Amino acid sequence: MLVALLLFQMVSMSLTSVLFAAHPQVILAAFLVTAIPFSATLLLHAERVRLLSLLIWAGIIFLALCFGYLFNPLSIEPAARVLVVFLVFAFGWASAIMIRPSAIAQSMLVAGAAGLIATAIQLYREGLSGYFEEGERLTGGDESHPNLVGLTMVCVALCGSSASNLLVRYAFWVASFAISSMVQSRNAMMALLIILAVYLWRDVARRLNAAGVGVVVLLATIGLAFSLEPLLEAFSDLFQLDNPYRGTNSNLVGRAELWQATWNLFTDYPIFGFGLGQHQIGAGIDMYAHNMYLILLSEGGQVGFIAFVAATAIALRGLFTDGRDSGQDASRLVFALSLTVVTYYVYGIFEGRAVNAGNFLSYLFFFAWGYGICCFDRARNSAPFRVRDMQAQ
């Protein structure tokens, strides 16, 4: 039952993030359809999922993030957001105990494929042929803005990383990068290039001995020496660095002002922040700050920022322990979830996801948080490492 609920939830989150990006209430409704029976199942198996430990961990982390909001609540929306994020965290925690790693990985793979197909169909309807015929940028509408398309493609690549077949994994990445370059989503391309580097290290570089690594480095150095200028030109074209409206001389389309205003808000409320989800009001800006780190600092202060980073470190530690001590299926899943966590931080340099579950990338991130922290908690308490007799789930 839980496997079916998780599959349906991941696919629905992937699809609604693509089709209803401008309608968060639809995304929330799709999430709640499975969140309610999922939550009921957790309550029925409270002892098995270590519900008390889950509530303690979540209480510490999310309370630290919400101190500023508790002192300065301006609307109910941040509280609703935290509740959704907590549920995603709880589902990741429970999945680490009650669902086989292969089933979770399969759910991610299907969800990634659904997002890829939905995006491709949507872009085709909105002028994909124009890109191939005239080289035009696909600007899209509310549901197909380049940044939203790029965000989806990063999710597709991350879901593809859970595949057992090497060709499937790289096929997901190639499709993701191709679409991201078509819409010129630079943040997505940067994240995808880092994902590719991790792929290559995991699949090739780490299998080489010292001599093999030396040969690769030597060949790469020679190649760069003879092709540095063309590579720099290609890089500039790919990321539109010379574009007067989007390049390095455009002040990153006004983001410097957003960052400065958000930083000033943090310095005014350095300990607990101005309140979760409220940095735009506090900083007096019309657009969110496009930087996860500044948003965390301004909304949660030093306490919230430290809690967020500490929770991430604990989750990664738990994922590392799970991947090291479990079988091949768990290792593949742990790789995908760990890569999701790292990518979220990379993506946050120019985006403001932070504490948010209204998009599939944030969903995967907080799911990985719950999964990893559960693994850490079990290892710390020397509990049985995984419930293997839940094959019927």
The structural domains of the chain, with segments of one domain joined by +, span: 2-205+261-380
Q: What is the DSSP string of 366-389?
A: HHHHHHHHHHHHHHHTT--S--TT
Mean pLDDT in residue range 291-297: 93
pLDDT tens string 22-31:
788 888 888 8
Under DSSP, the state recorded for 242 is T
Please state the pTM of the whole predicted model. 0.85
Provide mean pLDDT across the span 253-273.
88
- CA 110 → CA 151, 167, 390, distances in Å? 17, 16, 22
In the predicted model, is pLDDT for residue 335 greater than 80? yes
Tell me: pLDDT of 115 over 70. Answer: yes
pLDDT surpasses 90 at 307 = yes
